[in-house]
A and B are shown apart, each in its own frame.
Chain A
Amino acid sequence: MTPIDTSAAPPLLELSGVRAGYGSIEVLHGVNLAVPAGSVVALLGPNGAGKTTTLGVACGLIEPTAGKVLMAGRDVTGVAPEELVRRGVVTIPEGRGIFPNLTVRENLQMVTYGGARLADVEATAYERFPRLGERRKQLAGTMSGGEQQMLAMARGLASNPALLFLDELSMGLAPLVVEELYGIVAQIARSGVSILVIEQFARTVLGVADYAAIMLNGLVRSVGRPADIEDELSAAYLGGQKP
């Protein structure tokens, strides 16, 4: 197993001994995870493992009860999510979070409240996702699941992220569409954005990830290169013993 190499520079994101939950219910029992600059890290695990809670802590939506969240080596535990967004931490949430009763263009317009110009936002979005350009006047809720996910990604990318969190990109989508979307994720990664991808359906994401981590019952059980971790996946999901 190859641990994540953070010797060269402090990782862009590091969770250290993070405990968090909802009220009295603790979900994360000391999570350690690092996302080095310019890499794609996949966080995998079955339903209820604590992946989305980990993401909530990383993007500032959930405050940890113990442990630290470090970004570029600085402790940012407890910093408001909007502060982090302004500095380039972007989350594309599970279920996409688009406005179904607004058109594609109006959805992109929502990003401009952060200060970006609509023309620039549209140019970037349509260049990366030409299909959105064709549907700019269509209501977002009437598009296919894949196109809605593209819109969510386009909106996220419009604010020039340095650190991108993707939660369950594949949810409710056909395998071919998922493959296409992960192709785009690989392109985004090549442009230098550091990405933390959360996935329940692991195989597709392993193709684009530099590192993968398996999460079980609120703890990161193993971290390594995708090729090393693949054998452990079945055991993690089916609850079997490691051979």
Chain B
Amino acid sequence: MNNPADHSPDAPLDGDLRPHSFDGIQEYDKRLPRWWLLTLYGAMVFAVIYWAYYHAYSIGTPPALALEKEMAENAVLAAQKSGVIDDDTLWKMSLDPKIVSAGKLTFDTTCAVCHKPDMTGLIGPNLVDHEWIHGGKPMDAFKTVNEGVLVKGMPAWGPMLGRQKISEAVAYIFSHHKPGEEVIIVPGWTPPPGVMAIPPPPPAK
């Protein structure tokens, strides 16, 4: 077999054999392989440096602080990049077939489970009628999706979907509405009776 130690000049097969034997087992007393010693000492040196850097002299940033810094920077940069979102922009987006079909994709994979693929409501309310719980303007809907309404079971999708996908999804919802149409504010939504007995259809891929 190809064991390098078989052939290395400093490792003859005999010699260094300790005199004692245990149940017939004998022991050589070979020198420790140099590369092995280097990994041992190298890891120790690294340990000292690491400890000095993060703890003894506190040069490195602790992980929690580093995380907060990174996320804050990310948020500032992302906000600078994305443009303004308001009712007007969202209405305009709702007329753009490209944006609407991108929004439909997000809706079908994320929202349809609760709001039903045709948006007529399941666990979550109907989105194509004129009744609204948290306001009927596109920015109201954007806020509801972005921040969620935890008490009513609507998760905050902002951290998961991001501004772009949320505005697309909102544009898709409002492609079923028109500016200036009737808006009735209602206190809540009651799921249709027996609806939970029937599993909702799987989301379209």
Q: Do A and B come from one complex?
A: no
User: Which residues in B have some Cβ–Cβ distance to A below 8 Å?
Assistant: none
User: Which residues in A have some Cβ–Cβ distance to B below 8 Å?
Assistant: none
